[in-house]
Structure 1
Amino acid sequence: MEKKQKMSSFNSYTKTSNHENFIYFILFLSVITFSCDSNSDSRKIKTSIPIALMEDIDEGEGEKQDGIAEAQRMEFEQTKDISLGYIPQDRLIKATEELNVARRNGIYPNRVNALAWVERGSNSDAVGPSNGNGRITGSQVTSGRMRAILVDLADVTNRTVWVGGVDGGIWKTNNITASPATWTVANDFLGNLAIADIAQDPTNTNVMYFATGEKSINSDAVKGGGIWKSIDHGVNWVLLPATTTFWNASRIVCDAAGNVYISTISSLQGIPGSVGGIYRSTDGGNTWSTNISPSGLSARVTEMVISSTGRMHVTCGYYNSTAATSGYRYTDAPSTVASGTWTSPATTFTPVEFNVDMAVAGNTLYALPANSSFQTPQIWKSTDGGANWAITGTTPPISGSAPLSSGQGWYCLAIAVDPTNANNVMVGGLNSYRSTDGGDIWTLNSGWVTGVPGTTNYIHADHQILVWNDNQVLDGGDGGIFYSADDGATFADRNVGLRLKQFYACAIHPISTNYFLAGAQDNGVHQLNGAGLTSSVEVTGGDGAFVHIDEDEP
């Protein structure tokens, strides 16, 4: 007899409230896939679950199929807005806020309040013998994808660090130098967990902001829902009502006067309701300017940085923008700049229309642009505040055994410069490279997997953000956060207890109550086996996704 794999979680329903079903369905459906070949550095895009669910499934002739895809299609159809064709993020935020208010006021019945949820998932992981993606140093621990890191301005020791998961909320450690660091979750039950960037008001360090939504075009990019603000140093966070159209943030920054700026990209999938450009608030986020991005350029703003000199630097253009509508501009008056008053450089860097990451230290800037093949064949440098640019002496390779970006320049670009010595600079993509002479010579600094020759440093693939603070370098990406105390010469993970992995699915053993399999974004398939599920073994590398344990022959 032909056996069919059984699913317990998708084909049954509990009698929960509509609000809770709505929230849980959307939280599940918001997780989607970016692919990594587990045995090479070839990186590919996979179709996201939500997009796949909106497409017709060719069932062919004969008996109607059932399974994970069909179950998810049913859940998606039950939660989408029929007139829009997708699940509106703003309604998830509203539902979450209503749920929080109802629980605080005791409106929900006792049966809901009595549900005692306990977070489970590994605090650490190890590489299994069947995993083709070994870690160079052997003992490193990974976490999940992050694009946001902030060194707390209120801590003169520079040890307090905040990070944001792509859909894992806000986390904090009071001592990033400790190994392991102790992480506490500041908030992971917000209306939107897609933390894209974090900023802090230098005039009042109790005021903090985070922007939501990934800027990238990948099918698993998590959509945002606006800007959240805290006035009590990250204890409580509230959504700023005027920002609910800021879905895909590239940066959020504060200037020396405490004004706050956000750069965004409108939906590249054509979903209506989001806006792109640069927006400014001079009253703590209560009101925002109209779009002040440079006139004549694309509203897809990929980068926005403010130098210690007060000059703001921006790049416009992303993925398939035209060269004519893409470019780099700067201003010495960000608090009053209008679309028509940005300054164009005398000589600029190219290309800008696909993706750019920049780093700045005073009047020295570095730019890491991707080309039409999403490679990074040049790194550019300016020593006069962005007025003139030139290619650095050499550039890390784009092919071979240790490429910098490996064709992923649309997805992961990272660059940082030492704020006290602008000759020290680090770049990241698939692997990372470092220069100590202003870009004349680049040295391989970390490899993403065992087998990358020329380095003993391990940092997980896909570098999303680099932060340089004094002699500390913090590297965030698809495998969590890695820390250096010696200007980037050596790195070690700070991922123990930082539970940010994006798990797509979990399979429960039909007999053993403590045995689970779970697939994670860019972190393989994990085997969890033990009371409390406090650790796991990554049995396969690359992207993990849906897993099954046969109920008849487990």
Structure 2
Amino acid sequence: MRFSTVIIAMLLFLLSDTQINAQTFKEAQYDALEYRLVGPFRGGRSAAVTGVSNQPNLFYFGAAGGGVWKTSNGGREWENISDGYFGGSIGAITVSKNDPNVIYVGGGEKTVRGNVSSGYGIWKSVDAGKTWTESGLKNSRHVSRIAVHPTNSDIVYAGVLGNIYKPTLERGLYKSTDGGKTWRKTLFANDHAGVVDLIIDPTNPRILYASTWRLQRTPYSLSSGGEGSALWKSTDEGETWKEISKNKGFPTDTLGIIGVTVSSVNNQRVWAIVENKEKGGLYRSDDG
């Protein structure tokens, strides 16, 4: 009798768990929720933020002029972990999914505007931000995005926007297979257009998407768009690239900045947010 009771209890638990996981949530239940500042106070603008898998209270962010900050309690307290190592302008930060102690940071903010600061290449930590070592690309000026292979922390990709004031050959996408000790360029649009966005397909690390952006900052103006602004795809771990912004459905005239992301459920679904004078907006592809 006791055995039967245990079996029935287990079945009821499994059924209730299935119902909980299968339930849907009404959007109206979240209408009252609002974003709130969790600090640090007057930390400055930031376009480099990352969480850590399976650690919901651990976050890092890089400010435009305040360096890298860390919280381990969901934002109640923040600690600067970059002072004394590198400059305050941060364009990219990422944590290895394979080893959360490994962090890569790229200098030079990507939020190009009237007052913008450049950086000093890439830095790496192997102890969750306690210490840092220089990791190359000193002349990159503005690193817009860094991506790490999900199962190998030594395979790293860096999107370099480059010097925003003049043409430079330092722009492009770089790949390292030795944890940032050495880098080689695998994507280059032209000396006016650098990489502004980059993502590894969350279900297939052989596939990557990147966007290049032609821009130039002068003391009194910002020129955005033109030859070199494009969306790219690689199917061989970033070794070679194919321009896909010329495919059917994408705007055909002058392109500006492009952001890109991939569905983690269906990797054939790709979104791109496109700057374009006549047809700018959000675009979706369902065939990769």
Q: So what's the TM-score if we normalise by structure 1?
A: 0.39
Name which of 193, 197, 210 aligns with 1:303.
Answer: 197
Structure 1 residues 219, 324: CA separation in 2 closer, same or farther (over 3 Å shift)? closer
Q: Which residue does 1:318 correspond to in 2? A: 214
Name which of 41, 59, 76 aligns with 1:161.
Answer: 59
* Cα offset, 1:303, TM superposition: 1.3
Query: Is 1:344 paired with 2:244?
Result: yes
User: What does the per-residue CA deviation read over 1:292-338, in whole Å, with 9 as the maximum and x for residues that have no partner?
Assistant: 11567964222111121222111122334664433211112125x13
C-alpha distance in structure 1 between counterparts of 2:67 and 2:285, whole Å: 36
C-alpha distance in structure 2 between counterparts of 1:138 and 1:286, whole Å: 40
C-alpha distance in structure 1 between counterparts of 2:140 and 2:35, whole Å: 41
C-alpha distance in structure 1 between counterparts of 2:193 and 2:36, whole Å: 44
Q: Which residue does 1:251 correspond to in 2? A: 145
Q: Which residue does 1:225 correspond to in 2? A: 120
Structure 1 residues 264, 372: CA separation in 2 closer, same or farther (over 3 Å shift)? farther
Which runs of no fewer than 5 residues in structure 2 stay unpaired?
Answer: 1-33, 216-222
- Residues 230 and 238 in structure 1, CA contact (< 8 A), matched pair in contact too: yes
* Cα offset, 1:207, TM superposition: 1.5
User: What does the per-residue CA deviation read over 1:136-171, in whole Å, with 9 as the maximum and x for residues that have no partner?
Assistant: x89867632111111123xx2422111111111111
Structure 1 residues 343, 162: CA separation in 2 closer, same or farther (over 3 Å shift)? same
- Residues 302 and 318 in structure 1, CA contact (< 8 A), matched pair in contact too: no
Name which of 158, 171, 180 aligns with 1:285.
Answer: 180
Alignment of 1:311-390 (within 5 A): 311-319=207-215, 320=223, 323-335=226-238, 337-338=239-240, 341-342=241-242, 344=244, 346-350=247-251, 353-362=255-264, 363=267, 364-372=269-277, 377-385=280-288
Alignment of 1:426-445 (within 5 A): none
Alignment of 1:378-417 (within 5 A): 378-385=281-288
C-alpha distance in structure 1 between counterparts of 2:59 and 2:121, whole Å: 22
Q: Which residue does 2:31 correspond to in 1? A: none
C-alpha distance in structure 1 between counterparts of 2:123 and 2:159, whole Å: 15
Amino acid in the other structure paired with 1:225 = Y
* Cα offset, 1:208, TM superposition: 1.1
SS for the counterpart of 2:68 is: strand
Which runs of no fewer than 5 residues in structure 1 stay unpaired?
Answer: 1-136, 386-554
C-alpha distance in structure 2 between counterparts of 1:302 and 1:352, whole Å: 17
SS for the counterpart of 2:124 is: strand
- Residues 162 and 171 in structure 1, CA contact (< 8 A), matched pair in contact too: yes
Structure 1 residues 288, 199: CA separation in 2 closer, same or farther (over 3 Å shift)? same
Q: Which residue does 2:105 correspond to in 1? A: 210
* Cα offset, 1:190, TM superposition: 2.8
- Residues 214 and 228 in structure 2, CA contact (< 8 A), matched pair in contact too: no
- Runs of 4+ with deviation above 6 angstroms: none
- Residues 315 and 352 in structure 1, CA contact (< 8 A), matched pair in contact too: no
Structure 1 residues 334, 293: CA separation in 2 closer, same or farther (over 3 Å shift)? same
Amino acid in the other structure paired with 1:356 = I
Alignment of 1:190-205 (within 5 A): 190-205=85-100
Amino acid in the other structure paired with 1:211 = G
* Cα offset, 1:281, TM superposition: 0.5
Q: Which residue does 1:104 correspond to in 2? A: none
Q: Which range is displaced more, 297-306 or 249-258?
A: 297-306
Alignment of 1:415-494 (within 5 A): none
User: What does the per-residue CA deviation read over 1:184-209, in whole Å, with 9 as the maximum and x for residues that have no partner?
Assistant: 22222333111111112233222111
Structure 1 residues 224, 372: CA separation in 2 closer, same or farther (over 3 Å shift)? farther
C-alpha distance in structure 1 between counterparts of 2:198 and 2:37, whole Å: 32
Structure 1 residues 254, 217: CA separation in 2 closer, same or farther (over 3 Å shift)? same
Q: Which range is displaced more, 297-306 or 226-235?
A: 297-306
C-alpha distance in structure 2 between counterparts of 1:151 and 1:277, whole Å: 26
C-alpha distance in structure 2 between counterparts of 1:160 and 1:191, whole Å: 22
- Residues 297 and 326 in structure 1, CA contact (< 8 A), matched pair in contact too: no
* Cα offset, 1:342, TM superposition: 2.6
Structure 1 residues 169, 282: CA separation in 2 closer, same or farther (over 3 Å shift)? same
User: What does the per-residue CA deviation read over 1:35-60, in whole Å, with 9 as the maximum and x for residues that have no partner?
Assistant: xxxxxxxxxxxxxxxxxxxxxxxxxx
Amino acid in the other structure paired with 2:211 = T
* Cα offset, 1:377, TM superposition: 4.2
Structure 1 residues 139, 251: CA separation in 2 closer, same or farther (over 3 Å shift)? closer
Amino acid in the other structure paired with 2:58 = T
SS for the counterpart of 2:57 is: coil
Between the aligned residues of both structures, percent identity stands at: 24
Structure 1 residues 200, 288: CA separation in 2 closer, same or farther (over 3 Å shift)? same
Higher relative contact order (CA 8 A, sep 6+): 1
SS for the counterpart of 2:101 is: coil
C-alpha distance in structure 2 between counterparts of 1:236 and 1:279, whole Å: 24
* Cα offset, 1:235, TM superposition: 0.7
SS for the counterpart of 1:325 is: coil
C-alpha distance in structure 2 between counterparts of 1:325 and 1:302, whole Å: 12
Aligned length: 236
Q: Which range is displaced more, 243-252 or 195-204?
A: 195-204
C-alpha distance in structure 2 between counterparts of 1:381 and 1:182, whole Å: 38
